[in-house]
Amino acid sequence: MSKKVIVVGGGNAALCAAISARLEGASVVLFERAPATLAGGNSRFTAGAMRTVYNGLDDIVRLMPELTDAERRQNDFGSYSREDFLGDLGRVTQYRCDPDLADRLVSDSLPTLLWMREQGVRFLPLYGRQSFAVDGRVRFWGGLVVEAWGGGPGLVNSLTHRATSLGIKIHYGHRVCALLGSAAQVTGVQTECGNAIDHCAADAVILASGGFEANAAWRARYLGPGWDLAKVRGTRFNTGDGIRMASRLGAAVRGHFSGCHAVQWDANAPEYGDLAVGDGFQKHSYPFGLMINLHGQRFVDEGADFRNFTYARYGQEVLRQPGQIAWQVFDNQCDSLLRDEYRIRQVSRVTANSLAGLAARMEGINVASFLSTIETYNKAVQTEVGFNPTVRDGRGTTGISPPKSNWAQCLDTPPFSAYQVGCGITFTFGGLHVDANARVLAQDGNTIDGLFAAGELVGGLFYFNYPGGSGLTSGAVFGRLAGAQAAS
């Protein structure tokens, strides 16, 4: 007799878990709290980038057999080894990431993406956000070259189509509000839909319902004062339900509860994610310009590293600034380097043909301090060093604090532009204590039979920071693993 598996959540991790369990012979039911029109969790709001190990063009072609001969000749994908991925993950998390979880994520990254390909997910190169044309070749940088076709919405649609074609039952608008069983064994869930409450028995339950980023009270409690003021990049439904239910049952919690993934987000974006705009409110070309607060001062090293190794922590730096906002400032030299998100209709932007004219249009800025900061910065740029956006070029500054370590260019070529940004939280880092087989552990260290977890609510993987694209990959890796484990 096949096992009955319940999956809680509706994003990438949940759908990968459901598909994996069904392929192992289980009968699978998925409960998604959001209505069908808003389903997909945070995955639906992402741009779809997925970090993976690859050993060169051959592995890329396995993921993207549609690449033309011209693309194969002109694209310089490089390679990204297991050691590269582990090194980046360790470095940005200050080597606090659980080694077993990290090893599972990295080792299973390529096999999992290939498995997703078999399930109907298509991939393409990250042309728009992770490459520049240099000397007639398209060069990718930062170890991140793969995105899902159609971004986050395309990824969710592909996985949902595969799930339904396999006979997986998806119930939208159903909130799982409690786990049935004990700290020794989970036997099912309690659901709410409108005024109806049901109890559903199962042999295994997989929690993949996201972190607590959409819960303002929990943000203030765990992340600290001021975090209730942050915008939410994605879904309004990730309020920590999975963490709350499991911990009440006796599951152990783990990880960086005072840490999160938070980016620079358009200051006038709505409180929660807007599916019509998607990821377009993000502003990630800051390594090529300056970030300046309302006091007219710089406050971070914009060129400390590739943006995909700093963007997830610079949002909180903005949140610490006066008014919880800042301005990203560029000149005409940078215009061709700006990502597409800087050109959306809803952008908060001012432009001028002089820096003084620009400052006059920057709401709340200390004009004198702003102009002095730009002047001091321009004098500090090491103009003798060549500029190259595809590598850490070492073109920095001297004698100023904070420094700019790479990609420093004088801001002296009109027209000038400034973009007003705030903080947008993506997901929280604290979560459930999960082993490398996606099994949830109780407070006594033993596994809770029949309970698994994947996605954002896995604690112990990310601390302080996050390598871009590893969130979706983590969700897929541990979702696929949780499904197979639950079914067996």
Binned at pLDDT 50, 70 and 90, residue 132 comes out as: confident
Backbone angles phi, psi at 226, to 5 degrees: 95, -20
Give the chain's mean pLDDT: 96
The partner residues of 210 in beta bridges, in order of sequence, read none
Does the pLDDT value for residue 213 go beyond 90? yes
What the block records as the tokens of 242 is 């999975």
pLDDT at 130: 82
pLDDT at 240: 98
- For 424-438, write each residue's pLDDT tens digit: 999 999 999 999 999
pLDDT at 136: 83
What the block records as the tokens of 201 is 């028995």
pLDDT at 166: 98
The partner residues of 447 in beta bridges, in order of sequence, read 441
With CA atoms as reference, report the closest residue to 39 among 246, 210, 290, 167: 210
Q: How far apart are CA 166 and CA 162, in angstroms?
A: 6
Does the pLDDT value for residue 268 go beyond 90? yes
Binned at pLDDT 50, 70 and 90, residue 314 comes out as: very high
- For 379-423, write each residue's pLDDT tens digit: 999 999 999 998 999 999 999 999 999 999 999 999 999 999 999
- For 223-257, write each residue's pLDDT tens digit: 999 999 999 999 999 999 999 999 999 999 999 99
pLDDT at 129: 78
Binned at pLDDT 50, 70 and 90, residue 57 comes out as: very high
pLDDT at 131: 84
Binned at pLDDT 50, 70 and 90, residue 133 comes out as: confident
How far, CA to CA in Å, does 176 sit from each of 297, 352, 380, 481? 47, 52, 56, 22
Measured at the alpha carbon of residue 345, what is the angle toward residues 340 and 350, in degrees to the nearest 5? 90
Mean per-residue pLDDT for 149-163?
97
pTM of the model: 0.94
C-beta neighbour count of 8 within 10 angstroms: 28
Does the pLDDT value for residue 134 go beyond 90? no
pLDDT at 23: 98
Domains of the chain with bracketed CATH = 4-211+429-487 (3.50.50.60), 262-424 (3.90.700.10)
C-beta neighbour count of 162 within 10 angstroms: 21
The partner residues of 148 in beta bridges, in order of sequence, read 123
Contact (CB, 8 A) for 238 and 427: yes
Binned at pLDDT 50, 70 and 90, residue 1 comes out as: confident
With CA atoms as reference, report the closest residue to 426 among 152, 156, 176: 152
pLDDT at 128: 78
Report the chain's terminal Cα–Cα distance, integer Å: 12
pLDDT at 104: 98
Better-predicted residue by pLDDT, 308 or 476: 476
What the block records as the tokens of 58 is 């051959």
